[in-house]
Amino acid sequence: MTPRTIVITGASDGIGAAAARTLARAGDQVVVVGRSEEKTRAIAKEMDADYFVSDFSELAQVRTLAAQLESDYPRIDVLANNAGGIMGKRTLTVDGNEATFQINHLAPFLLTTLLMETLAASNAKVINTSSGANSFGKLDLFDLNAEHGYSTNRAYGTGKLANILFTSELHRRFGGQGITTAAFHPGVVRTNFAADSTSPFRHAYKTLLNRLMLTPDQGADTLLWLVNGTAGKDWISGAYYYKRALAKANRQAYDAELARRLWEQSEELVKGS
């Protein structure tokens, strides 16, 4: 069989790196995308894989990444939008967007839509790493930059909720063109996640509670299951998963009108980048 081309963002560490290693060992052509030049290059060298460096806090870098991928890979079988994170105090990016929202939602939204022609021609899967934290998110279309009542955890939860809404709307708009898509919660994974944030979550990653968390390989399990499975047979396109099963999300995640309007506003927010 011809090796699949699988692009994984946020692949220099954590579940992204774990999934990349597993897929590379299986013979897939893995393309590693990360923010750190040093870490991304090291992971790619380990697997003899191609890599790109892109900081999602700058949408211009996302556009450059999309152009590079489109140029180098005429076929992309899987796009795993795995990059993201929880931030500290409220800050705006150079693009004028609240950083948590941009890094977790707008950047992968932009990357996916810029690659849509290639993805559709490849009958690709788009897998989005969400989180159970979506449950304490609250998406306000009139306050996407969280100017009112900002909190670190709520901003992260809202970004992860946006991932699920993006997944369902991506299926609605492009499912008929061959795109299949799913979002998933990896579980609480033992990584450097939240280490540089002001979230109370950061303490758990530095204490004995760390031992109770999943390993990156365990956290990557559902991602690999979605990548290797078949939509319509093993999983449902447009849905949200945890531990290889359909999962319950924030009630806003099932609002089709909200998903449609979020897509439209996201298009406007990335237009000038």
Place of tokens 């309007």: 261
Does residue 17 sit in helix, strand or coil? Answer: helix
54-111 residue pLDDT tens:
999 999 999 999 999 999 999 999 999 999 999 999 999 999 999 999 999 999 999 9
| Residues facing 79 on adjacent strands | 7, 126
Place of tokens 């540089």: 196
Q: Rounded to an integer, what distance in angstroms lies between the CA atom of residue 162 and that of residue 171?
A: 14
The conformation of residue 141, written as its DSSP 8-state character, comes to T
Q: What amino acid positions are annotated as catalytic residues?
A: 156
How far, in Å, are 43, 165, 255 from residue 157 at the CA level? 29, 12, 16
Does residue 28 sit in helix, strand or coil? Answer: coil
- Calculate what percentage of the chain has a pLDDT beyond 90: 88
* Residue among 1, 16, 25, 9 at smallest CA distance from 79: 9
Q: Which two tokens stand for residue 71?
A: 């140029």
Residues 102, 92 contacting (CB under 8 angstroms): no
4-59 residue pLDDT tens:
999 999 999 999 999 999 999 999 999 999 999 999 999 999 999 999 999 999 99
194-233 residue pLDDT tens:
445 454 554 444 454 555 668 989 999 999 999 999 999 9
Spatial neighbors of 185 by CB under 8 A, at least 6 apart, are: 130, 131, 132, 134, 222, 240, 241, 242, 247
Q: In the chain, what's the furthest Cα-to-Cα distance? A: 53
